[in-house]
Amino acid sequence: QSALTQPPSASGSPGQSVTISCTGTSSDVGGYNYVSWYQQYPGKAPKLMIYEVSKRPSGVPDRFSGSKSGNTASLTVSGLRADDEADYYCSSYAGSGNLVFGGGTKLTVL
Amino acid sequence: EVQLVESGGALVQPGGSLRLSCAASGFTFSDYWMSWVRQAPGKGLEWVASIKEDGSEKYYVDSVKGRFTISKDNAKNTLFLQVNSLRVEDTAVYYCAKAGLAVSRDYWGQGTLVTVSS
The B-side interface with A (CB below 8 A) comprises: 35, 37, 44-47, 50, 57-59, 61-62, 95, 100-106, 108-111
With contact defined as beta carbons under 8 Å apart, do B68 and B49 qualify?
A: yes
DSSP assignment, residue A3? P
pLDDT at B108: 97
Residues of B within 8 A of A5 (CB-CB) are none
Give the single-character DSSP code of A109: E
B23-72, pLDDT tens digit by residue? 999 999 999 999 999 999 999 999 999 999 999 999 999 999 999 999 99
Q: Which residues contact B52 (CB under 8 A, 6 or more apart)?
A: B33, B58
Q: How many pairs of residues across A and B have Cβ atoms under 8 Å apart?
A: 73
Whether B95 sits inside 8 A of A45 (CB atoms) is yes
B105–A36 C-beta distance less than 8 A: yes
Q: What is the pLDDT of residue A7?
A: 98
For B98-114, how does the pLDDT look when each residue is reduced to its tens digit (9 = 90+)? 998 888 999 999 999 99
| Confidence grade of residue A86 (pLDDT, cut at 50, 70, 90) | very high
Residue A1 has pLDDT above 80, yes or no: no
Q: Which helix (H) or strand (E) holds A51?
A: none
- pLDDT (tens digit per residue) in A51-73: 999 999 999 999 999 999 999 99
Exposed/middle/buried for A106, CB within 10 Å: 0-12, 13-18, 19+?
A: middle
Predicted pLDDT at B101: 85
Q: Is B45–A97 a contact, with Cβ atoms under 8 angstroms apart?
A: no
Exposed, middle or buried by CB within 10 Å (0-12, 13-18, 19+), for B75? exposed
DSSP structure string for chain B? --EEEEE---EE-TT--EEEEEEEESS-GGGS-EEEEEE-TTS-EEEEEEE-TTSS-EEE-GGGTTTEEEEEETTTTEEEEEE-S--GGG-EEEEEEEE-GGG-EEEE---EEEEE--
Best probe of the B interface among A99, A100, A106, by most B CBs < 10 A, is A99
CA B79-B85-B90 angle, to 5 degrees, is: 70
CA distances to A32, B28, B90, B100, B118 from B103, in Å: 10, 17, 25, 6, 37
pLDDT of amino acid A2: 86
pLDDT at residue B78 above 90?
yes
Residues of A in contact with B100 (CB under 8 A): 48, 51, 57
Mutate to test the interface with A, among B36, B53, B96, B103 (most CBs of A within 10 A): B103
Distance in angstroms (rounded) separating the CA atoms of residues A62 and B26: 27
Considering only CB atoms, A34 lies closest to which of B37, B46, B102, namely B102
